[in-house]
Amino acid sequence: MARRLFDEMPERNVVTWNAMICGLGAYGYVDDALGLFEKMKKEGVVVPNGVTFVGVLSACCHAGLIDVGREIFRSMKSVYGIEPKIEHYGCLVDLLGRGGWLLEAVELVKGMPWKADVVILGTLLAASRISGNTEVAERVVKDILALEPQNHGVHVALSNMYAEAGQWQEVLRLRKTMKEERLKKAPGWSLVAT
């Protein structure tokens, strides 16, 4: 219904294009979202903006289209002169992390023009879990705690990762530290398995 209304519109602007692209991508119609993005570029009447790229990168993430996502991310600056913002980096970090490209995601975060926030770091922590890389997870947990010292849920997440990796000594060490320091997971904070 929404697509039919969009197609029948006599005139479209960047907001209507973005609404359609983001909606399609969010509901799993990735091919349609990417196709509409291509149509937007081909028609050339409306120029994509930062919101457009969030929608397209999110769609790539939902479908695991790593190469397409990388290329779209690069094109932001090289083709459209749009400087990627933290939300664009977040989409690409998530895409890379889910796809098993953890170390590339880490390098992307290191190369950002600003310091990573807790959302980006949480995405890296989830990617570390997917890859089973406790070394990266340890560094990410330290970075999260530097930003949010009261975020004790990351200790639980790291402990669970150690358990998944069979690193029982590390589980015991971390749980002992948590008990000694009386650290408890904050209600509502978790590392959602993806």
Per-residue model confidence as pLDDT tens digits over 93-108: 999 999 999 999 999 9
pTM score, whole prediction: 0.86
pLDDT band for 179, please (50, 70, 90 cuts).
Answer: confident
pLDDT band for 8, please (50, 70, 90 cuts).
Answer: confident
Q: What is the 3-state secondary structure (H, E, C) of the chain?
A: CHHHHHHHCCCCCHHHHHHHHHHHHHCCCHHHHHHHHHHHHHHCCCCCCHHHHHHHHHHHHHHCCHHHHHHHHHHHHHCCCCCCCHHHHHHHHHHHHHCCCHHHHHHHHHCCCCCCCHHHHHHHHHHHHHHCCHHHHHHHHHHHHHHCCCCCHHHHHHHHHHHHCCCHHHHHHHHHHHHHCCCCCCCCCCCCCC
Instruction: List Cα–Cα distances, 127 to 22, 100, 120, 137, in angstroms.
Output: 24, 7, 11, 9
Q: What does the pLDDT read at residue 7?
A: 85
pLDDT band for 124, please (50, 70, 90 cuts).
Answer: very high
CB atoms within 10 A of CB 59: 29
Closest CA to 53 of 11, 90, 2: 90
pLDDT band for 151, please (50, 70, 90 cuts).
Answer: confident
pLDDT band for 44, please (50, 70, 90 cuts).
Answer: confident
